[in-house]
Structure 1
Amino acid sequence: MSRVLFVMITLVVFGLLVKLGLWQLSRAAFKQEWQSTLLVRQQQHALNYEAMLALVNLSKLPTGSESEAALLTGYRLSILAKPVNNTIMLLDNQVYQGQVGYLAYQVFEITPEQPWILVELGFVAANKDRRILPQLEPLEIRYYTLYGRVYQKQTNPFSDQLDAEQRADAPIRFQNINTAALADMLEHSLIPVVLQPENVPRYNLPQPWVPIPLSAQKHQGYALQWFTMAGVFLGLMSWIAYRQYRR
């Protein structure tokens, strides 16, 4: 009976390690395809706002997939828009070149009737004292021609709440880009993409672009680790079985 249990444990653990390695390889293949898709989108002509709205509506149709493939990240967009107000919004817990800080945003409108859009101004370093927020001069409320690329964030199943902190005469600090919750707070519809413009007026802040947080090469490396662990585990269990047999 103990031998049967030993063999079962060996097969289950070995199979699990191999399965994890195969899953990492499948993710690597997907990331390679996703990278090719992003390159194609970057080479296309910029869309106008109406075309982007049409893409957003198409992306809401049932596809059976909630992965990166359903995102609109990487499309180029050109809009004529103006800030809704003078409020600066800061996305918390961002890292750029080893420095902790925020991504700064301002909400823009194309027309009063259409959904507003969140526009990224760039990265700003955080103060060591979290009570002190960066003071950025908001863009003047007038029309600007903005062009750049859009991105969407995947929903984090463990933490997707907006968790906005509002204080008088201070930027709004929030924890996640949850456009539905942000629209509720603003009491106006919001398109579920963020524009990262190449031509932010009066600003020269860094604009991090990490559409693929984990590269295909990283997944391939992890797959090799899982396969190595599977081989080592199988070798160890075979050695133990051989020792028991000799006894």
Structure 2
Amino acid sequence: MVVFSLLVKLGFWQFERGQEKQALEQAILARADSAYQALSVVLEDNDWREESILGKKVEVNVVPQAFPVILLDNQTHQGSVGYLAFQIVLTSDEPSAYALLELGFVEGRAERSVLPTVTKLDNSTFITGRLYRKSTNPLSSELMPEVGDVIRVQNLNIAQLNQLLNIELMPAVLQPDNLTRWPYDFPWNPLPLNSAKHFGYSIQWFSMAGVFLLLTLIVFVRWQKKLRHMEVKHDI
């Protein structure tokens, strides 16, 4: 029964995650039609929970800073493998803050040792866009930086990036939507696992629990029949 209980718990856990993701999806859809608000308001609110900032539309003036471009490794977009690129900027509106500005998807080179040259902002720019947080991998969330002219990382661990660069970045990423003639696409994937997938996984776990229970009952019934048969033979 321990295995059965575990399978049922996993099913309920995935179901609850599905409900959470469904609420986030609805919040993101609602924000898609909302007006842009000053990023300074978000900074003052200081609420960085996913349900509070995912897809929130903001506007801000940013000033590029003299830090290397950040390349998030092992990203895919429209069948290509490459990186999500980020530039560190300083918001010029009060309160000011360092922030990661997404530069878009940059296709990788044939040789991993050769990193792509990334187009970035050179001057102060007015940006409109939306906020998101990169979901962390529970099995591996370490930054694992390779530092050079650019910094290649395996996970966008902002806390560890702060330690590496000795700065304090805004906990969310800003994806712009007003950069014209920009060479890179901006994939929008705030929830790598959507609610439908979580609900699907919950059905799988519940199905496995049902199959396990059925097999257990079959084995138990057969064992009972065999036991009764042995008792009858013993009486004879």
TM range (shorter): 0.7 to 0.9
Partner residue of 1:72?
Answer: 53
User: Does the C-alpha gap of structure 1 residues 19 and 87 become closer, same or farther in structure 2, counting only changes over 3 Å?
Assistant: closer
Check whether the contact 1:14–1:230 (CA below 8 A) recurs between aligned residues: yes
Check whether the contact 2:128–2:177 (CA below 8 A) recurs between aligned residues: yes
- Which one is further off, 229-238 or 109-118? 109-118
CA distance in 2, matches of 1:22, 1:189: 38
Matched AA of 1:211 = P
CA distance in 2, matches of 1:18, 1:188: 45
Check whether the contact 1:126–1:133 (CA below 8 A) recurs between aligned residues: yes
Partner residue of 1:26?
Answer: 16
Structure 2 gap segments, 5+ residues each: 227-236
SS in 2 for 1:58: coil
CA distance in 1, matches of 2:12, 2:171: 33
SS in 1 for 2:5: helix
Check whether the contact 1:87–1:171 (CA below 8 A) recurs between aligned residues: yes
CA distance in 1, matches of 2:224, 2:105: 64
SS in 2 for 1:200: coil
Partner residue of 1:8?
Answer: none
User: Does the C-alpha gap of structure 1 residues 100 and 79 become closer, same or farther in structure 2, counting only changes over 3 Å?
Assistant: same
User: Does the C-alpha gap of structure 1 residues 25 and 114 become closer, same or farther in structure 2, counting only changes over 3 Å?
Assistant: same
Check whether the contact 1:120–1:196 (CA below 8 A) recurs between aligned residues: yes
CA distance in 2, matches of 1:103, 1:80: 22
Structure 1 gap segments, 5+ residues each: 1-10, 60-65
Aligned residues: 225
User: Does the C-alpha gap of structure 1 residues 179 and 233 become closer, same or farther in structure 2, counting only changes over 3 Å?
Assistant: closer
What percent identity do the matched residue pairs reach? 40
Matched AA of 1:41 = R
Check whether the contact 1:22–1:223 (CA below 8 A) recurs between aligned residues: yes
CA distance in 1, matches of 2:145, 2:70: 9
Shift of 1:147: 0.5
Query: For residues 151-195 of structure 1, what are the alpha-carbon distances to aligned partners after superposition, in whole Å with 9 as ceiling and x for unaligned?
Result: 11244454333333222xx32222222223333333333211111
TM-score where L is the length of structure 2: 0.85
SS in 1 for 2:175: strand
Partner residue of 2:76?
Answer: 95
CA distance in 1, matches of 2:134, 2:150: 22
Larger Rg belongs to: 2
SS in 2 for 1:245: helix
Matched AA of 1:51 = V
CA distance in 2, matches of 1:15, 1:86: 51
